[in-house]
């Protein structure tokens, strides 16, 4: 029997060597015979145009008959749509330059917008390919984002048919169950063996990569049907989707972490999971560097006190030390 892979997405505590653990687990989704085909508009950023009828038709055509011709026709439509977004972004940049010329703070605003436009060009084909992975996923027509709150695990379109992510990050309450069951050490932010009062639904923090992996191993050991692990950076990005420019989340608006459901009603990931951006950094299993002494893993999503631009899905500059490399030698 094939096991479903539940990927654990771990978040980092800001300004700490240890990370906050927000575990997103990938699991099987429930069946729904009445699912509407296009209840998944979050594939597109809010400021981008809605999918036009032609693109919807091509998605449906490919799903019914997944041949090379239908794939290329759909890909061409995705490229046309994305090129239209680029034209609009360039126009917005030119408009911003004209509006802010000679005004205090104008250069900084232009520089921020220029960085976004430059990143769009830099990640052009990555975004096209990610969109195609989602649009050609066999689960696409069977999933309604509106139903996501009903499920504990959400499909990650384009990551493989057996990859699912938990709807929320790992909370203090989730992690406490692991600690109580195993006697594992508690995060340093806890007192007297437990999390602060009233923070059961906050993402657990001050958790190292090793702690996160131990949590995943415990989940796997107690589940006969599913495997648990950290996501790769690409899997995390597919689950999150592009961060809408006008999205509301915990970055620059609070003095610390907020409950994982705080922004559930207004901001969500590509397929209905929540709290990807801001709040706490999240671990991935992707190595940023390995110098033979220390391994650094990539982290995603930003935190409550990071720059909003660093919260973007495509931002790949942040990492945290995860482990010392142990070298073994034969005794002579």
Rg, C-alpha atoms of the chain: 21
This model's pTM is above 0.75:
yes
CA distance 126 to 118: 14
CA distance 230 to 215: 10
* Residue extents of the structural domains in the chain: 1-35+167-332, 38-142
Q: Cα(first)–Cα(last) distance of the chain, in Å?
A: 46
CA distance 57 to 142: 16
Is the separation of the CB atoms in 79 and 128 below 8 Å? Answer: yes
pLDDT tens, residue order, the chain (332 aa): 445 666 665 554 322 223 344 444 443 333 332 222 233 333 334 333 456 889 889 999 999 999 999 999 999 999 998 898 899 889 989 999 999 998 998 888 888 888 888 888 988 998 899 889 989 988 887 888 888 889 888 999 898 888 899 899 999 999 999 999 999 999 999 999 999 999 999 999 999 999 999 999 999 999 988 899 999 999 999 999 888 777 899 998 888 999 999 999 888 888 899 999 999 999 999 999 998 889 999 999 999 999 988 998 989 999 998 876 554 444 33
Residues in CB range of 84: below 8 A, 6 or more apart: 49
DSSP string, 234-291: HHHHHHH-PPPTT---SSSSSSS---TTTTTTT---TTS----SSSSEEEEEEEEEE-
CA distance 211 to 194: 16
């Amino acid at each position: 029997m094939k096991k479903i892979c539940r990927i654990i997405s771990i978040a980092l505590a800001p300004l700490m060597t240890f990370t906050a653990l927000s575990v997103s687990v990938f699991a099987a989704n429930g069946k729904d015979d009445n699912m509407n085909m296009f209840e998944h508009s979050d594939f597109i950023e809010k400021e981008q145009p809605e999918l036009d009828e032609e693109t919807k038709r091509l998605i449906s055509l490919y799903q019914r008959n997944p041949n090379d011709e239908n794939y290329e026709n759909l890909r061409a439509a995705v490229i046309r749509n994305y090129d239209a977004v680029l034209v609009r972004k360039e126009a917005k940049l030119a408009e911003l330059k004209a509006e802010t010329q000679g005004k205090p703070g104008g250069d900084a605003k232009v520089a921020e917008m220029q960085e976004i436009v430059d990143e769009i060009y830099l990640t052009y084909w990555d975004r096209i390919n990610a969109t195609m992975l989602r649009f050609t996923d066999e689960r696409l027509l069977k999933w309604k984002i509106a139903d996501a709150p009903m499920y504990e695990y959400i499909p990650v379109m384009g990551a493989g048919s057996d990859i699912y992510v938990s709807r929320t990050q790992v909370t203090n309450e989730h992690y406490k169950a692991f600690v109580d069951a195993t006697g594992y050490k508690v995060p340093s932010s806890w007192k007297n063996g437990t999390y602060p009062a009233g923070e059961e639904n906050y993402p657990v923090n001050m958790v190292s990569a090793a702690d996160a992996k131990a949590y995943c191993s415990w989940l796997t050991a107690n589940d006969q049907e599913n495997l648990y692990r950290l996501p790769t950076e690409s899997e995390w990005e597919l689950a999150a989707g592009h961060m809408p420019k006008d999205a509301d989340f915990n970055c620059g608006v609070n003095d610390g972490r907020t409950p994982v459901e705080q922004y559930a009603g207004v901001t969500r990931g590509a397929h209905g999971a929540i709290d990807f951006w801001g709040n706490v950094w999240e671990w991935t299993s992707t190595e940023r560097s390995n110098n033979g002494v220390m391994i650094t893993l990539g982290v995603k999503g930003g935190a409550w006190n990071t720059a909003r631009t660093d919260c973007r899905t495509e931002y790949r500059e942040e990492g945290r030390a995860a482990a010392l490399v142990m070298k073994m030698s034969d005794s002579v």
